[in-house]
Amino acid sequence: MTLHAGALSRSQVQAVEWPTFLMIIGCYALWAGVTALVYPLLPVLSVLLAGVLIAFHGSLTHEVLHGHPFRSKAVNEGLMFTSLNLCIPYNRFRDLHLAHHQDQRLTDPFDDPESNYLDPGVWETLPRWKQGLFQLNNTLLGRMVLGPLIGQVLFMQSEWQAARDGDRAVWLAWALHLPGVALVLGWVGLATDMPVWAYLIAAYIGLGLLKIRTFLEHQAHIRARARTVIIEDRGPLAFLFLNNNLHVVHHMHPRVPWYRLPQLYRDNQARYLERNDGYRFRSYAEIFRKHLLRAKDPVPHPLWRRY
């Protein structure tokens, strides 16, 4: 069956998407076990595994904001009350990511909240050291190592400005976020032997892993439909990102759960690749080979002056 963007009706959406719900429960259980039971025995492994689980929780959070696994928004969002990465309030991730799904705005330096491009005019005013940081951030290694810090600084600047301007949604998001952070750090500090500094390293690792997924999800292109990638990977990273590597499929069908995306792509491969003008990579290994130390594109938006 061929699906069109936004074509799923309520009757086609399961009341409970059990694979997603079980993944959420499993993620929390493994996270608790890794932090409480593994750390005393193998602290380095525990930090690394916690980082992977924090990244996986981020992928599950992405599923939840798109209406999974329950039909009830309140129940779904209650599952994500505790932000394991500590850095991004759920409500802000939800609102900014849904704004990002306005495909006509993709890669826009101002209107796409997830764009890594800068307005060329802004770029030219930056000091050289800052331009250098952004250029490093445009390599995959730089995005993984520096990206979480650069992204968080820019995010906090934007949040602070919105809060100062009286944006109630921002104030509410952070008011809801802080108790969740307290629960996570309370668990780490009171129920485990893992030091808070070690957990902060795990959180940074988790955010760095998520930067692999977002690194080249979108490209600058004159046609909006050609801005979204397909990465034909079926390995561990595809699972970690819950098949969001099939990104144009997700953008066309945001209400389809993660476990149905591969079949949709297999059944309609030619259509999706025609849709995005063949913006495709065979695997994450290919991306590492090409872009670990080489920028994928310039920081200033290469087409901005044409708009």
pLDDT in tens, 48-69: 999 999 999 999 999 999 999 9
* pTM reported for the whole predicted model: 0.93
CA-closest candidate to residue 176, choices 80, 307, 267:
80
236 token code pair? 């561990």
Domain count, the chain: 1
* pLDDT, tens digit, 9 for 90 and up, residues 228-244: 999 999 999 999 999 99
Task: Measure the N-to-C terminal CA separation of the chain; round to a whole number of Å.
Answer: 37
The residue with tokens 């445009």 is: 138
At 35 the pLDDT is 98
- What is the pLDDT, as a whole number, of residue 11? 42
CB-facing half-sphere around the CA of 103: CA atoms within 13 A: 20
Angle between helical axes of 147-164 and 196-214 (0-180°, round to 10) = 90
Residues in the chain: 307
Please give the Cα distance from 258 to 61 (Å, whole number): 12
- Residue 307: inside a domain: no
Q: Which domain holds residue 169?
A: 10-296
Q: Is residue 37 part of a domain?
A: yes
Residues of the chain with pLDDT under 70: 1-14, 305-307
Task: Tell me if 2 is assigned to some domain.
Answer: no
| Within a domain: 182 | yes
Cβ 114 vs Cβ 233: under 8 Å? no
Q: How far apart are CA 86 and CA 57, in angstroms?
A: 11
For 200-243, give the DSSP string: HHHHHHHHHHHHHHHTTSB---SSGGGSB-EE---SHHHHHTTT
For residue 43, tell me if it sits in a domain.
yes
Determine, yes or no, domain membership for 80: yes
